[in-house]
Structure 1
């Protein structure tokens, strides 16, 4: 699967989209009605209970996951378990009858404070319950770095993976942050967050739509 990655200054671009589209499918406008997204399960050290929420856009073009306590750090006496944080979300996306959807783009942002010699990475994967098609991305950061990062990733329409028509399959969204002190001063802390200046990060998942076959 071909992916396009873009790196702009201090902003980091990440790509992620899911799978394959039947030859007969055509892009369609957003469906009528309103989609809803529910968090079925939430697990992981990066999203303790009550620190992750989800909301669907009113125009049915996207949904947003918001984190408020997602930080990995190393060095300066940090607990070794703090160097890796992850979050596993099981999302139930309710769509109007006769339509199905695919994740067309994922947008992330956060802040990185890495000492010289330290490094960090961000990983993500997406898949529908019961599907063998999983998209995985890994993105590395090297110190010194003190900057906001933003990642936007997309793939061609022909490579999207669609939710099965007529079924409600859980969309599993997994993310991970890791920080390594490396050769940096062991007394200095390095960290990476999925958050923003207001204390939360909005991770936006952009949707494409198609109509399901009749019958």
Structure 2
């Protein structure tokens, strides 16, 4: 609980939410609350995960996801994250944007490369929302700020509880020669809020 309280304080200090979280109304978006997150996969970071929903955004709190491959190795890390979201009555709602940061250190040697693939699901719809490739010599941080086009959930007549998920795969191929290592990771989206690994924005369209 200490981690959660500290995180909520940082959210308030950074302006992401007001200090008086009780002022957030469900009809303005998601009601402010902490939600449990289910994780599954060999590449999931250690430790527990949870989500913070507030207004039109969801932040997933987790530690770094990482993999590396030495000479002639292939390594893959995969992590599937699932949570339930309570959609307030009077709206159709859909995820519209996903933001996360990462880094890749690819030796400038033949055979070295890495890939990043992200799948998102909401309600009954799902699809690949991001595919990125990094070749020999790429050694930098990167930001992924991608639009999401998934079907909306209809809560026009009553509140709806539905599932939201993100499945991320990162793969690394080591160089064909030498002692350098190919490495890749997904890191925090905010240096102030250390463990926010994903931030998702949702669109709320009032029903006529």
2:57 equivalent in structure 1: 62
Report if the CA contact (8 A) 1:42-1:88 is conserved: yes
1:15-164 alignment runs, 5 A limit? 31=28, 34-36=31-33, 38-48=35-45, 50-57=47-54, 60-75=55-70, 83-116=75-108, 117=110, 118-129=112-123, 131-154=124-147, 160-164=150-154
TM-score with structure 2 setting the length = 0.71
Structure 1 residues 179 and 32, CA gap change in structure 2 (3 angstroms): closer
1:183-202 alignment runs, 5 A limit? 183-185=176-178, 187-196=179-188, 200-202=195-197
Give the Cα–Cα distance (whole angstroms) in 2 for the partners of residues 152 and 100 of structure 1: 23
TM-score with structure 1 setting the length = 0.69
Give the Cα–Cα distance (whole angstroms) in 2 for the partners of residues 102 and 32 of structure 1: 11
More strand by share: 2
Count of aligned positions:
174
Cα displacement string for residues 168-197 of structure 1 (whole angstroms, at most 9, x for unaligned residues)? 121121111111114353x22110011149
Cα displacement string for residues 87-122 of structure 1 (whole angstroms, at most 9, x for unaligned residues)? 111111123232342111111101211111311111
Matched position secondary structure for 1:126: strand
More helix by share: 2
Give the Cα–Cα distance (whole angstroms) in 2 for the partners of residues 33 and 61 of structure 1: 6
CA RMSD across the alignment: 2.8
2:21 equivalent in structure 1: none
**Structure 1: tracts of 5 or more residues without a match:** 1-29
Structure 1 residues 33 and 160, CA gap change in structure 2 (3 angstroms): closer
The range that moved more, 192-201 or 98-107, is 192-201
Matched position secondary structure for 1:169: strand
- How far 1:52 sits from its partner (Å)? 3.1
Structure 1 residues 143 and 51, CA gap change in structure 2 (3 angstroms): farther
Greater RCO (CA < 8 Å, at least 6 residues apart): 1
